[in-house]
Each structure stands twice: as C-alpha cells, then as structure tokens.
Amino acid sequence: MRITILTVPDCPNAPVVRERITGALDGRSAEVELVDVREEAEAARWGMTGSPTVLLDGVDPFAVPGAPTSVSCRLYRDADGRADGAPSVQALRQALSGTAPAPATEGLECCEADLLDPIGRAGRGRRAPAERGLRAVHQAVLRHFATHGTAPRPATVESEAALAGRTAADVLAELDREDFLALDEEGRIRAAYPFSAAETPHRVRMASGVEAWSMCAVDALGISAMLDGQDVRISSSDPVSGEPVTVTFTDGNPRWEPADAVVFIGRREGSGPAATVCCDALNFFTGRATAGRWQRENPEVSGQIVSQGRAAQIGQQTFGPLLQDD
C-alpha cells in the first residue's frame, strides 16, 4: 500500500498524522510519502482538501463530498463530534483495513476553528443528546419557535420531559448548562439557538408567514436547513452603514441582497455560552469595506470576514441536523 500525506509547509499536524499512521499500521510495511503542497493549483491536482490530507493508494478515505480543494488547515471530527487536526489512530486503522467508514471531516480553516468553537460547542455540535429527555425537549422548543415565533413556556414541554421521568425545569436547566439554549433568572427560555426570544438585528420569516428573531447571522443562515429546506427570508442590516441586508432561501438556495454582502464571524476572549461570547459579533455586512471597518473599530473581537457561501455552509452544518429524527 502507498500512503501519501499532503501537507502545507510547516503544518503542525504533519508529524502528528505520521505518528498516528505508524500506530495504525501495527508493524505492517507500507510506503509512506510526505508531499509539501504550496499552491492552490497543486492542491487541486492532488485532490487535497486541507492540510493534512491522507491518500491511500491515491484515494482520500476521509473525503467529504463537495469539499473544495484547499491549502488551508483541515479539521477532522470523530464519532462524538470532537475536532482534531488529524485522523485518530482508530479511524486510520479502519481506513487501512477497509472494514468501516472513517469519520467525515469538515473544511474549516485553522483560525476558523477557534472562532467557531462557541457556535458549535467546541466541536460537540448543537444537536442535543437523546438521553434524559434532552433531545425531545430541545426539539419541542425549536418547533415551537418555528411555529409561533416565540419561546414556549416551560410548562409547554412538560410532557416531553415526563417521558424521561423528569420535569421540564430540570431538563431545561441541563440544556442551559450545556449551552443548547439559554434561560433567564426566572427559568424562562430567552434563546434556543438559532432562535432568540428577544429582539435582535436578524429577523427570519418562515414560509408559513411566522416571523422570529435569530441569535446571529450564522444562526439565521441555518434555519432553512433545520426546517428541511423550507423557504425563509432573513432581514438584517449592516451595523456600520445601517443599510439593509436580506437573504432569501428558495428551495434551499440563498439569494443575497446586496450581491456583495458578506458575514463577519468573530468572538470575544474567554469562555462562556455563545450568547455571551460571540452572538453579537456574527453579523451581516453590505460588503467587505464596512465589515473591515467594524473589525477595526472593535479590536476586542477576534474574527474574519467570510464569503456568502462559507457563511451559509457553516449555518447549514451547525443547525441542519437539529430536528432530524433519531
């Protein structure tokens, strides 16, 4: 077997993946080649979708359909959704033996990984676990937002909690601790990502005509996918110019106005729930000029400007699975 490791120069995960490949081989012999890839055109020739990319006899066993070729860093996610800079020994062992599919990767740039940690709960995802009534209550809350545009009262989800032998207050408190939603001091739901019970700059109109507030730009962009491709219209505004920005999803395809609109993805230092750390730093802008100005005027926020396609992809990946059946 020929194993090719494609990396950008000085990739910190190159020695990590080499060590893990050695462990996965379990003493078996194999030709292992390390290839430095410096240009996008070269990455395209190899089919490299980030560094490091591992090829087994020329085939990427961890490939994600539709992932673009890239010389950025590549993140891998294990079965529990945790992010890592290289495939695990177990995943490599499975890929080498061909006995089981390897975990999928997500095409995130290295700097994006830190920025997206609050959005995706540090790689753990925003789909609540099925255990202890968490998913049933969480999904009931999200469906209420989508149907009524407002947060449900805790009593509304009492029956879902009771199926797990718990009270709604108990389950909601756990969902709050794990940052699937946010409660106020009186135990009322003030947010259930992607929705907000309070006014925000981002208003989303569902196909039914119901309107709801979204926590941030990325959350708003994930609502159509979460609702199984439902047509939605997002109305927001540029925080610098005040000019409107709209995104209309029709059959799952977004149309942006203005055409040059972008999204800024940022976060503040420290840890905490997404509502505190990053939601006010994830905004729509009419173009790169105003987004860059906002970034300069808010040096306490780390972040970057992302394209329309990338912003929509993040939203869809984050929130698309939330209402899926078990």
Q: What is the DSSP string of 165-207?
A: T--HHHHHHHHHHTTSSEE-TTS-EEEETTEESS--SEEEE-T
Of these ranges, 108-122, 160-174, 261-275, the one predicted with the greatest mean pLDDT is 160-174
The fraction of the chain above a pLDDT of 90, given in percent, is 56
Q: For the segment 65-115, what is each residue's pLDDT rounded down to a tens digit? A: 567 778 888 888 766 666 788 999 988 988 887 644 444 444 444 444 456
Side chain identity, residue 324: Q
Q: Domain 2-107 is of which CATH architecture? A: 3-Layer(aba) Sandwich (3.40)
Residue 121 confidence (pLDDT) above 90: no
Q: Output the DSSP codes for 254-321.
A: EEEESTT-EEEEEEESS-S-HHHHTGGGEEEESSHHHHHHHHHH-TTEEEEEE-HHHHHHHHHHHHTT
Question: In this structure, are residues 277 and 114 in contact, taking their beta carbons and an 8 Å threshold?
Answer: no
The whole-angstrom separation of Cα 142 and Cα 149 is 10
CA 71/CA 115 separation, integer angstroms: 19
How many CA atoms lie within 13 Å of 54's alpha carbon, on the beta-carbon side? 33
Please state which architecture CATH assigns to domain 131-192.
Orthogonal Bundle (1.10)
Of 90, 86, 118, residue with least CA distance to 105: 86
The predicted pLDDT at position 269 comes to 80
Predicted confidence at residue 104, as pLDDT, reads: 41
Domain ranges of the chain: 2-107, 131-192, 196-319
Where does residue 321 rank: exposed (0-12), middle (13-18), buried (19+ CB within 10 A)?
A: middle
60 — pLDDT class (breaks 50, 70, 90): confident
Structure confidence at residue 80 (pLDDT): 60
Query: Using CA atoms, how far apart are residues 223 and 125, in angstroms rounded to an integer?
Result: 15
In this predicted model, what pLDDT tens digit does every residue of 7-39 receive, in sequence order?
A: 998 888 899 999 999 999 988 888 899 999 988
Average of per-residue pLDDT across 191-200: 96
CATH top class, domain 196-319? alpha beta
**Highest mean predicted confidence (pLDDT) among 93-107, 120-134, 172-186:** 172-186
Show the tokens assigned to 92: 């490599």
The pTM of the full predicted model, rounded to 2 decimals, is: 0.66
Question: What token pair was written down for 28?
Answer: 């078996």
| Percentage helix, strand, coil for the chain under 3-state DSSP, each rounded to 5 | 35, 25, 40
Domains 2-107 and 196-319 share a fold: no
- What DSSP element (H or E) covers 103? none
